[in-house]
Structure 1
Amino acid sequence: MSGIISLVLVQARRDRLVLPAWILGISFLEFAVAGAVATEFAGDADRTAIIRVAAASPAFLFIRGLPDGTGIGELVFFQGYTFTAVLAGLMSTFLVIRHTRADEELGRAELVGAAPIAREASLTATLILGAAVNLVLALCVAAGFAAAGLGSFGASMAGAAVGAVGVFFVAVAAAVAQVMPSGRAANGAAAGLVGAAYFLRGIGDAFGTPNADLTRVTSGWVSLLSPIGWGQRSRPFSAADPAPLLLLTAAATVLAVAVLGIRKGRDLGASLLVEPAGRARAGTGGDSFLGLAWRQQWPTLIGWCLFAALLGGIAGGLGPVISDVMGDNDSLRELIRRLVPGSRAEIIDVFTTALLGMAGVLAAATGIQAVLRLRMEETEGRAELLLSAPRSRARWLSANLLLAAASAVVVAIVAGTAATVGLTLSGTVNDPPGLLVAAALAHVPAAILFIAATAVLFAAVPRLCIPFGWGLLAGGLILGQYGELLGLPAWLQDVSPFRHSAAMPVEPFDLVPALAMSVIALAGAAAAAYLFRRRDLTP
């Protein structure tokens, strides 16, 4: 047991900067949302109005979650829980993969295994660390809610809901680490499962049933397939029920025990899925940087495209539901037109616009992951071998940036095409052909700006580029989603590239911001190439 505790301390020391940043960032976000809601919606009439709009709109339900009353605590939980739960899931999956599959891939696990400890000791330490980190996160989130003036019991239950989701994904990531053959594949698969949990929760909520006065929505059965949906059912500020959280914790415990059994019988470095051996000779284009980048990135690109297709297809699947909700509700139509003045906005357009905005986030994430692959090549020593050939660093970087930008475009096209097909099949689309594809592509300039910023980080501060790269995306998303709610100044909100993307089809395309972001992205790519040429390769 002393060996396991020592491993827990070693792993915690390795993450002494990353984990506090995650915990404090998530906790501060919830504190800020709680304070903003208490300020912006102090009156019961204001809270009732926004809750009724949300309850009547599948777009709000899909993105934010379930309204559960008109109190301040209920509104805070509705506004912030789902995004916070996703962040807790990502924190947990990255933590577990970093200390399991990635350590096996890099040889660290072999050094640890040389000590006189059990084969599964390192995984046990990681599971303990993951549970402890999520316990601290739950306490910090609860403290943030309590500091914002919410009731202590409801704040504790809300923190426990976030922590329970994180604990569940600790066990899920541990299982993924046994299945996938590489750290990169395991990270992608585990993060994909977090995204799938968000989507399943969103579908169940969008198909939910509102009560008569539109102040509470009961989710559909699909949300039962999502741990985020189970956490949401705890209803901390209205009718607190710890049973869903206990169920999540029990499921995580059972899964963790099963994973420990698998690890005990698995050889170090082996996996349940075997990575196929490559061909003896490269195919067409394999002797170029661009061809090499494509060979490394295409499996990941397919995964992102599947998510984009799912996101676009949801618009078609929910089209009839939205039409039924709309009905002859003239007051809701008028409210939508006031929210988006001067536009042709119908509720179906608002919903589609919201989904395509999320597709823009997926496009940015696709490109960021492609750029961060360069750092993995560098730390694992392959970049040094590759660049020992008479070819320039700038060409290597440029080829990968080109593929990253192209990947973002492909993801956007897939999302727009899937939305078009889905809405056409449901019979609820009257837009000109290609409009939704163009609407998805309108978010690409913002995506490539994130790609260029990540490239600059890789060239300037390579050891920090991975957390900072994803942190930029999270920051841009928070500013775009919560900037107005938090009462942030307009100039700070405008820092997020997502704020400058045209929200088609609700509003017309604006060429000037798109060109400006594209020019800035090109300048950033040039700066990254210059900085990369001037620095040494670092482990």
Structure 2
Amino acid sequence: MTGVMGLLLTQTRRERILLPVWIVGIAFLGFIIANAVSTEFGDETARAAIITVASASPAFLFVRGLTDGTGIGAVVFFQGYTFTAVLAGLMSTFLVIRHTRTDEELGRAELIGSVPLRRAAPLAATLILGGVANLVLALAIAAGFVAAGLPSAGALTAGAAVGSVGAFFVATTAVLAQIMPSGRSANGVAAGLVGAAYFVRGIGDAFGTPSADLTHVTSGWFSWFSPIGWGQRSRPFSDADPVPLVGLAVLSVVLGAVVVVLRSRRDLGESLLPERSGRDRAAVVGGSSLLGLAWRQQRLTLLGWCVFAALLGSIAGGLGPVVTNVIGGNESLRELILRLVPGGRGGLIDVFTTALLGIGGVIAAAAGIQAVLRLRAEEAEGRAELLLATPRSSARWLGASLVIATVSALAIAVVAGCAATLGLSLSGVSSGTPGLLVGAALAHVPAAVVFVAFTALAFATIPRLSIAVGWGFLAVGLVLGQFGELMHLPAWLQDLSPFRHTAAMPVEAFDPGAALTMTAIALAGAGIAGYLLRRRDLTA
């Protein structure tokens, strides 16, 4: 036990900067959402209006979560829970992989294993650290809600809902670290599970049953397959129910016990899914050029992102009949939609599809960022030094990955748009002009490549911080785009997010000026990044 505590202190010291940034950032986001809702929707009538519209729209339910009354606390939880839960899940997955597979790949675990400690001691320390981090996060979120004027009992339950989701992903990611053959693959699968949890919860909520007064929605059974859905069912500010949170805690403990047993029986550096041996010689496509190498490294990752995009587009088609049935079966709701969304049924379906394609734009940006950040792993693990010892320039090396990142964003947009068009067609709902939804998805690509270029700049100037900066910029862009108006942030600050300048097609007309401007910014950023990379040395 002494050895585990010593390792826990060592891991805590390594996380002394990054982990507090995650916790404070998530808690502060919860505070400003609560404060903004209290200020913007202090009147009961205003809260009832937004909750009624949200309850009537599967798009709102899919993106934001369940409505659960018109109280200030209930509106705050509706506005912010799912987003903070996803952030808690990502914080937990990255934390666990850093101290498990990554340590094994970089040789740190081998040094620790040379002292008389149990084989699973480092993993046990990581599980404890992850649990404590999410406990602190839960308390920090609760403190922020209380500071914003929300009831303390509901605030504690809401904080526990977010923290329990994070703790569940600590244990889940620890299991994946034993299964997957590398830190990169484990990170990708774990982050994919966080995204899948969001999607599954969204499907269950979109198929939920609204109450007669449209102030509450009962989630569909499908959301039980998502830990985020479990936390949401705690209903902290209406009829608090801690049972789902206890269930998540029990599952986390059971998974933690299982993973400790797995680690004690696994050799260092091995995995339950062995890494496949490569060919003796590189193929013509994938090994004879920097572009081919970048493609070979990213093709499986791109396939995974495209599967997510196809799922997202399919959801738009699958929920099309639900939207029309809801409107057709409720005359008062039909009148409300006609007032809010000109165009009737088609208009509401357009709003729903636009919301999902907007998420597709975020996925495209994330895929591009991941493609660029692969360069940091190549550099830190020494492979870039061998590659650049050949007659290849670092600028061309970066350029190849930027091309693949851009192609990834384009491919994801096309897949999402095609899947949405096909889904709506199979559902018997018109998707408008042929190719409209594909164009609507492609409209998000200029914003995505701005994130790609910014990540490349971070890699060229501050390589050791490039991973945190790249993903951090995406998180900030999402916050400004999703909550900027709610927080009453200055217009210039909201405009810093590329997502703010993307035309919300098919609800809005395409804005070629904004698209061209973002494309020009991305090209300039990529050129500057290539120039700066040539002027710096490789770093470990």
1:500 CA displacement: 0.6
Partner of 2:112: 112
Do the aligned partners of 2:89 and 2:194 also contact (CA within 8 Å) in 1? Answer: yes
CA distance in 2, matches of 1:136, 1:334: 46
Aligned partners of 2:85 and 2:162 also within 8 Å: yes
> In 2 relative to 1, CA 8–57 (structure 1 residues): closer, same or farther, beyond 3 Å?
same
The reply to whether residue 489 of structure 1 matches residue 490 of structure 2 is yes
Distance 2:407 2:341 in 1: 32
Aligned partner of residue 215 in structure 2, secondary structure: coil
AA at the equivalent of 2:301: T
The worse-fitting range, judged by mean Cα deviation, of 510-519 and 325-334 is 325-334
Which residue is equivalent to 1:171?
171
* Contact 2:416 2:438 survives alignment (8 Å): yes
Q: Distance in 2 between matches of 1:401 and 1:275?
A: 27
For residue 104 of structure 1, report the CA deviation from its aligned partner: 1.0
- Report the counterpart of residue 268 of structure 1 in structure 2: 268
- d(CA) in 1 for partners of 2:463 and 2:337? 45
1:500 alignment partner in structure 2: 501
Aligned partners of 1:301 and 1:366 also within 8 Å: yes
Which residue matches 2:204?
Answer: 204
User: C-alpha root-mean-square deviation of aligned residues, in Å?
Assistant: 1.4
How does 1:261-340 map onto structure 2 within 5 Å?
261-285=261-285, 286-327=287-328
- What is the Cα deviation at residue 430 of structure 1? 4.0
> Displacement, 1:332?
5.1
User: 1:257 is matched with which residue?
Assistant: 257
Distance between the aligned counterparts of 1:339 and 1:483, measured in 2?
22
Shift of 1:457: 0.3
Q: Which residue of 2 aligns with 1:86?
A: 86
Structure 1 residue 408 displacement after superposition:
0.5
The reply to whether residue 194 of structure 1 matches residue 194 of structure 2 is: yes
- Describe the shift of the 1:337–1:406 C-alpha distance in structure 2 as closer, same or farther (beyond 3 A): farther
TM-score normalised over the length of structure 2:
0.98
2:364 matched to which residue of 1?
A: 363
Tell me the alpha carbon deviations over residues 473-530 of structure 1, each in whole angstroms, 9 at most, x when there is no partner: 0000111110111111111111110111111111111100000000000000010001
Q: Report the alpha carbon displacement of residue 338 of structure 1 after superposing the two structures with TM.
A: 6.2
Deviation at 1:390, TM superposition (A): 1.3
> In the alignment, which residue of structure 1 is the partner of 2:135?
135
Residues 1:25 and 2:16 are matched in the alignment: no
User: What amino acid maps onto 2:291 in structure 1?
Assistant: L
How far apart are the structure 1 equivalents of 2:205 and 2:318? 13
Partner Cα separation in structure 1 for residue 256 and residue 67 of structure 2: 33
Helix, strand or coil at the partner of 2:434: coil
Residue segments in structure 2 that go unaligned for 5+ positions in a row: none
Partner in structure 2 of residue 55 of structure 1:
55
| Alignment partners' CA distance in 2, 1:212 and 1:444 | 40
Match of 2:538 in 1: 537
Tell me by how many angstroms 1:211 deviates.
0.9
- Give yes or no for contact 1:340–1:506 (8 Å, CA) kept in 2: no
> Residue 512 of structure 2 corresponds to which residue in structure 1?
511
Return the offset for 1:343: 11
Q: Deviations over 1:319-376 (max 9, x none)?
A: 1101111227676566557666799961100000000000000000000000000000
Q: Distance in 1 between matches of 2:450 and 2:339?
A: 31
* Conserved 8 A contact 2:328-2:334: no
Sequence identity, in percent? 69
2:233 maps to 1:229: no
Contact 2:291 2:401 in 1 (8 A): yes
Structure 1 residue aligned with 2:2: 2
Provide the C-alpha distance between the structure 1 equivalents of 2:29 and 2:335, rounded to a whole number of angstroms: 32
Q: Which amino acid aligns with 2:91?
A: M
> d(CA) in 1 for partners of 2:344 and 2:380?
50
Q: Give the AA of the match of 2:270.
A: A
* 2:327 and 2:345 in contact (8 A); partners too: no
How has the CA–CA distance of structure 1 residues 447 and 97 changed in structure 2, closer, same or farther, with 3 Å as cutoff?
same
Normalization by structure 1: what TM-score?
0.98
Rounded Cα–Cα distance in structure 1 between residues aligned with 2:340 and 2:442: 24
* Runs of 4 or more above 2 Å deviation: 328-345
For 2:284, what is the secondary structure of its paired residue?
Answer: coil
Q: Distance in 1 between matches of 2:512 and 2:485?
A: 24
Contact 1:48 1:70 in 2 (8 A): yes
CA displacement, residues 157-176 of structure 1 (integer Å, 9 cap, x when unaligned) = 10011101110000000000
Is the CA contact 1:326–1:347 (under 8 Å) kept in the aligned structure 2? Answer: no
SS in 2 for 1:16: coil
Quickly say closer, same or farther: Cα 1:344–1:422, change in 2 above 3 A.
closer
Q: Which residue of 2 aligns with 1:391?
A: 392
Aligned partners of 2:344, 2:153: CA distance in 1, in Å? 44
Cα deviation code 1:211-239 (max 9, x no counterpart) = 11010010000000000000001111101
Q: 1:337 to 1:371 in 2, by over 3 A?
A: farther
In structure 2, the partner of 1:213 is 213
Instruction: Look up the equivalent residue of 1:109 and give its one-letter code.
Output: A
Specify whether residues 253 and 344 from structure 1 end up closer, same or farther in structure 2 by C-alpha distance, changes over 3 A only: closer
Amino acid paired to 2:175: A
Aligned twin of 2:468? 467
SS at match of 1:346: helix
Contact 2:337 2:344 in 1 (8 A): no
Q: In the aligned structure 2, how far is the partner of 1:302 from the partner of 1:71?
A: 43
Write the distance in 2 (CA, Å) between the matches of 1:175 and 1:325. Answer: 41
Closer, same or farther in 2 for the Cα pair 1:488/1:336, shift >3 Å? farther
Task: Please give the residue correspondences for 1:373-388 in structure 2 after superposition, counting only pairs within 5 Å.
Answer: 373-388=374-389
Q: What amino acid is aligned across from residue 290 of structure 1 in structure 2? A: L
Evaluate the alpha carbon distance shift between residue 433 and residue 265 of structure 1 in structure 2; reply closer, same or farther with a 3 A threshold: same
Cα distance per residue 1:13-53 (max 9 Å; x no partner): 11111100100000000000000000110111111111010
Partner SS, residue 489 of structure 2: coil
Structure 1 residue 12: deviation in Å? 1.0
Q: Does 1:101 find its partner at 2:92?
A: no
The SS at the match of 2:117 is coil
Q: Tell me, which stretches of 5 or more residues in structure 1 are unaligned?
A: none
After TM superposition, give the deviation of residue 98 of structure 1 in Å: 0.8
Provide Cα deviations, 1:103-141, integer angstroms capped at 9, x if missing partner.
Answer: 111111111111100000000000000000000000000
Alignment-mate amino acid for residue 75 of structure 1: V
Listed one character per residue, the Cα deviations across residues 381-433 of structure 1 (whole Å, up to 9, x for unaligned) are: 00011001111111111111011101110011011111111111001124111
Corresponding residue of 1:418: 419
Structure 1 residues 451 and 493 mapped into 2: Cα distance closer, same or farther (>3 Å)? same
Matches within 5 A, 1:436-451: 436-451=437-452
The CA distance in 2 between the partners of 1:398 and 1:334, in whole Å, is: 53
- What CA distance in whole angstroms lies between the structure 1 residues aligned with 2:337 and 2:373? 40
